[in-house]
Structure 1
Amino acid sequence: MSLKRTALASLLACPLAAVAQSNVTLYGVVDANIEYVNHVGAVPTSANQFNPGTGHDVFRLTSGGLSGSRWGMRGMEDLGGGLKAVFVLESGFGTDNGALQQSGRLFGRQAFVGVQDERFGQLSLGRQYTSMFEALANFSPTAYATQYEPVVMQSGPNYREDNTVKYTGKFGPVAALAHWSFGAGVALPASVGLPIPIGGNGEVPGQFRRDTAYGAALVYTIGPFAATAGYDQWNPTIGTGSGTVKKAVVGGSYAIGPAKIMGGYRWGQNRNASDTLIQRDDYYWIGANYQVTPAVQLTLEYSYDNVKNLYGNTGVPNPWQISFVADYSFSKRTDVYLTTAYAKNAGLMLESLATFYANSLALGNNYVLGNGQSNMLGVALGVRHKF
């Protein structure tokens, strides 16, 4: 919602003169649900000797079903001649416990400032989404739903990065994105298969490559058809050197009346600090949205990962997942939903060693399979309010 000067000045505790020439918007989402999941183990770390233990059923209150709970501010100042100053500060929090998410960062979802030109696009600096992640936003059937979307499998655990310079531009039907991170700020603990931590903050004197990342993407939209292609690379710290996590993607969508069909393919290859192959896979997804009535939308999505090599194991069972969402909108701001997913050969969100268990570590809600289990079912009923 847009705030008047007096309200904004009171809210931000800033002098009125400091905001008089700016347009600032306060916004957010609060999303929570009651969830049931079966066959849940523990994230395998050094604390439990990399043993997920026995799988159990769990009933819990979960934050972020269709959207991650958040609040934020975005602003713009017209500098004249088609040039604008822009900023975004966005904080993620758990509706279930009120705690900060994204490793306790105050503005862990986004925090950047930049300049925007009507003809040439936007240049921004700060914590931002990767080019590939942003380009794929309109090609995900569940619209990056927080609860069961295999987002780490698709875009990598580094889909948000610190210390990033990013360019976005729109040229007719084509949108172009590119970014460079001086230190991605993604740090994952040691886990089975890779018993040393991976990632870090980077920006280390004399080690320019350490934890850097970069990528680019294009999106083409004309009428009901859209297509995208992108590339992403992250060079995380592994031991005393840096590895390489590479991903390339193509996707497409087509709208037909009240329905929209979309899908894509992502190529992936990870190597350790000595350039030895540790992971190689091909990930596919397809799905559709159907607007049954102005208030009711149904979503179906199928995801499949062809694992060719995982830490030297070439016989890993290929994981797949099917997801379904029924969403009912009371208004433009408030809706209730039923979301459910079934995963085979991995936890929900295709959570496994192949995703570095990053979903469970980030969300605080575990989707790791217990010992001896090969499938996982999740069902959640929730409410979401946007402001």
Structure 2
Amino acid sequence: MPLKKAALAALIACPALASAQSSVTLYGVADINVEFANHVGAIPSAANGFNPGTSNSVYRMDSGGLSGSRWGLRGTEDLGNGLKGVFVLESGFNLDTGTSQQGGRLFGRQAYVGVQSATLGQISLGRQYTSMFEALANFAPAAYATQYEPVVLQSGANFREDNTVKYTGQFGPVTALAHFSFGTGLALPQTGASAIAVGGNGEVPGAFRRDSAYGAAATYMAGPLGIALGYDQWNPTIGTGSGTFRKAAVAASYTFGPAKVMGGYRWGQNKNAAGAGIARDDFYWVGANYQVTPALGLTLEYDYDKVHNLYGSTQVANPWQVALVADYNLSKRTDVYLSAAYARNAGLTLDSVATAYATSLSLGNSYALASGQNSMVGVAVGVRHKF
């Protein structure tokens, strides 16, 4: 009897003990929509002779319109003396098919562990967002909406990187960020006759620079005013060497009443392993959020890319896009939305050979312009639930 009583007491005590020690939160987003888009072609590749083919209109179901569908685990542990152990494991998935995103990674969106100081900041190690991408998050009018915001053109296809050491510090209204990746784990195929394949697994013995990356950023948020500065560099594998892809950005926002206006500029320059220019552009964006009622919010965004040089051509038509989002909250966790966009001289999200069609490849839905076309329209109606 004493043994049975002891076992029963242990079973009863276990949940309470786990609850007291646990600081793990399960969270996620389920976002899905039905979309129409016109003038859609195939993603150019060696298999189709880099020819996107004839124009088609598509009617499809997409996972992720305003947010990428995901589930994750986030945890902290108090270590004493103002220190905490922290971790995040976040998995992206396709809600329409139940498959994993980010190349089939189990935790492809984020996967890191670190130590956080109440006064000195946080050091984290693993797969993480770049400093510039994180700094610009509050200055992207559509809040990095998966479907139509040109995130890859703005921050680079390497906005998530493997093997990364990252610092984040909060000092009053200023947030400082810096990171270094030993190997980004990003590979983009050749998507045009003059284009090149870039990237790889990185962390190659004897080739420390190959696929490495680093960057830094800072934001200032005080009252209605916000300012961000950022720099990012990726050294992707190109042939047997490594190139140099650089980006720098500045952005600002101002909030008054139910409205927030924001905009920014991003300078970009890509060079091959020999130091010759691959691409040079200036990207601009401007937009606004307006809360019409507590339930209804509107977003308008305009993006423009001034292309100075792309694979040796200086006569490239400059891509631009205008996008609108109407989002209606049915509750604190569930909303319905309408997204629409018109892109010129590139596909939606401004996907083109300049971005190696990285958005289309990642989503599994082509936004490549068909042969002979120079514009694309997209409209989507969806529902999102946050848990």
TM-score range (shorter-chain normalised) is over 0.9
Q: Is the 8 A contact 1:130 1:161 kept in 2?
A: yes
2:303 maps to 303
1:334 maps to 334
1:7 maps to none
Q: Is the 8 A contact 2:298 2:324 kept in 1?
A: yes
Provide the secondary structure at the position in 1 that maps to 2:84.
strand
Structure 2 letter corresponding to 1:60: R
Which runs of structure 2 are paired with 1:1-387 in the superposition (5 Å)? 20-194=20-194, 196-387=196-387
Q: Percent identity?
A: 71
Structure 2 letter corresponding to 1:236: P
Provide the secondary structure at the position in 2 that maps to 1:314.
coil
Could you list the per-position Cα deviations for residues 359-378 of structure 1 after superposition, in whole angstroms to 9, with x for gaps in the alignment? 00001011000000000000
**Distance in 2, Cα, partners of 1:369 & 1:196:** 19
Provide the secondary structure at the position in 2 that maps to 1:183.
coil
* Deviation, structure 1 residue 19: 7.1
**Distance in 1, Cα, partners of 2:73 & 2:321:** 35
* Deviation, structure 1 residue 222: 1.2
* Deviation, structure 1 residue 26: 0.1
Kindly report structure 1 stretches of 4+ aligned residues shifted beyond 4 Å: 14-20, 193-196
Could you list the per-position Cα deviations for residues 268-327 of structure 1 after superposition, in whole angstroms to 9, with x for gaps in the alignment? 000011110010000000000000000000000000000000000000010000000000
Residue range with higher mean Cα deviation, 262-271 or 43-52:
43-52
Q: Is the 8 A contact 1:210 1:242 kept in 2?
A: yes
Could you list the per-position Cα deviations for residues 155-210 of structure 1 after superposition, in whole angstroms to 9, with x for gaps in the alignment? 00000000000000011111000000000001111221455421011101100000
**Distance in 2, Cα, partners of 1:278 & 1:83:** 45
Structure 2 letter corresponding to 1:217: A
Flag the 1:192–1:19 CA change in 2: closer, same or farther, 3 A.
Answer: farther
Structure 2 letter corresponding to 1:251: A
* Deviation, structure 1 residue 22: 3.1
**Distance in 1, Cα, partners of 2:122 & 2:19:** 22
Provide the secondary structure at the position in 2 that maps to 1:133.
helix
Q: Is the 8 A contact 2:195 2:311 kept in 1?
A: no
Provide the secondary structure at the position in 2 that maps to 1:47.
helix
Provide the secondary structure at the position in 1 that maps to 2:145.
coil
Q: TM-score, normalised by structure 1?
A: 0.95
**Distance in 1, Cα, partners of 2:45 & 2:195:** 8
**Distance in 1, Cα, partners of 2:166 & 2:19:** 26
Flag the 1:29–1:253 CA change in 2: closer, same or farther, 3 A.
Answer: same
Q: TM-score, normalised by structure 2?
A: 0.95
Q: Is the 8 A contact 2:195 2:353 kept in 1?
A: no
Q: Is the 8 A contact 1:264 1:285 kept in 2?
A: yes
Structure 1: 5+ residue runs without aligned partners? 1-13
**Distance in 1, Cα, partners of 2:27 & 2:280:** 40
1:6 maps to none
Structure 2 letter corresponding to 1:283: F
Provide the secondary structure at the position in 1 that maps to 2:220.
strand
How many residues are paired up? 374
**Distance in 2, Cα, partners of 1:333 & 1:172:** 30
Could you list the per-position Cα deviations for residues 133-159 of structure 1 after superposition, in whole angstroms to 9, with x for gaps in the alignment? 000000001000000010000000000
**Distance in 1, Cα, partners of 2:125 & 2:16:** 26
Structure 1 letter corresponding to 2:148: Y
1:5 maps to none
Structure 2: 5+ residue runs without aligned partners? 1-13
Flag the 1:381–1:197 CA change in 2: closer, same or farther, 3 A.
Answer: same
